[in-house]
Structure 1
């Protein structure tokens, strides 16, 4: 179409076209490009340093402050108390139920404040219960939720045959009743005395419990919170004057952290079930020392992926004396025997108790 126009008009149109093209190019080159906003990069502070550099002697903590291993798993340090700052290295006093709350240091989550652990609820059969709530999942049990753990008291007490001799006792579900009852097939052979091979003393505890209107129920002790060093084990029991389900705690020490137990395994063996130090020692808590020395047993270690756990233990009460002269007592787990097996449990796994380790359950005496 441009070729059909007169010459002067064609030259004018070309000039206008070239002018517009130059103007467009100039505007494109002069416009500053849009630069996206750069996000601020943050370098995380390294609180732990390896190899470990520890002082020759551990620090002396104030009375009531625990001497613990730092979060770097290196040195002994005084645990931070409620309201004090904490980091991945400076841990809070877990003996007092404290944890490091990093919620106020967003988005870094480096420096926190030691806060009290709030009791958590429980979930049983898909139903959620509040901390401290008492409920009955069925007619046979009365349960209470205590800080994530469920403790139950059996409502049915006929767990063994009554104090009569019957050749064929049977536990039968009765119509309209929740609990099964013992029934004897041959009433002619019933006698009101206990059989000779059953001591009446075996039933005395049950009679006393009924006289106090309380059926004593105590759960097994939980696994120690630490695989080495001083930790805490808990259980739920109503063995008290009020017959109330309460959470009990005891200290536990599965094995010392500073001892290489593998060096004590005999040649040709892969496990050492029980380790015991040659010399007695004193327990130390928060700068306070046990009044008597002890020579405890520890669970050993294996080199073939097996783990050694206690299957027979008891609880002893240890008296401590502080530098100022004050005294207090703590319950401590006393290991009598250990067993090495493949049923290894993570002490921090709250779902570990859902599995059944019935083959080698702990025997407490």
Structure 2
């Protein structure tokens, strides 16, 4: 717990040194300025810390051992339910490594996932520092230690939002189809993101609300439909887990907090801001999912596709909040309260995450590294 706390504090402090505007500007004659070089060095250091910490872990994550078993079955040609792109990648890495070196697979996903998240936050956020702080304090980085293929495609979906905003839907769909070769649940974002990109009319909101209310009332029908779309959950232990509203509580609280922040400055920061409006709609869809579809096994996997945009929406609200209203009224105190409330909520959320990070479903604590682990871990004997 102390290690994660120090890691979060150190990386957020480093992120404070990043100035995106300075990086975008070139020096005389197109030369790179000292400030730009500093920013590049900080970003690279953040990448090394993120990718290194994830790559050096061993038996950290709720499904670490299951993945090692899956890697073995892929290698020997056994039956697996993972997607073909993932299977092909595992076979390729093992062939290049000359054997079942699963640490290389975990390391590869750690590197690519870190690059995609950093790239998305740097390019698409109006304030990289705030986005990165949310990425750490909301526990998103540490959750990447779980279900590596899922969090890889989650990073892809965050990156894909740029194409939705530009209305380059062909590129968006192709990117999501590529990600589906690693985790097919990502296909759900195609209709959801496109729905959020549409201009919502009142009758559409009413219809959508009615549909959301119908979900828990006819949950057997919707469960059967989901199982047809995702048959690998059929007859598994996941169906025996009663998620319920209690299991979705933290997602609901997080969506409600972002909703409250957005409503406080909707006119000033969301209504006429294309990007913020898209992310705000995704938050509404996420809130509806957590409250009305809590009966669905692993609902958080679908919910995170919608609420990960929080790390772009929150800085978009805070940074675009003016200090004076159109009528000339000072909004400085309101803006300070919004910043303070956001910081307080994120710190409390991080503390709660650390206190529960050892539990089933997360299990990213305690942290272990293969550098300090006995050799039998490295030859796979802990599984085989």
TM-score by length of 1: 0.20
Give the structure with the higher percent helix. 2
Q: Which has the higher contact order (CA 8 A, sep 6+)?
A: 2
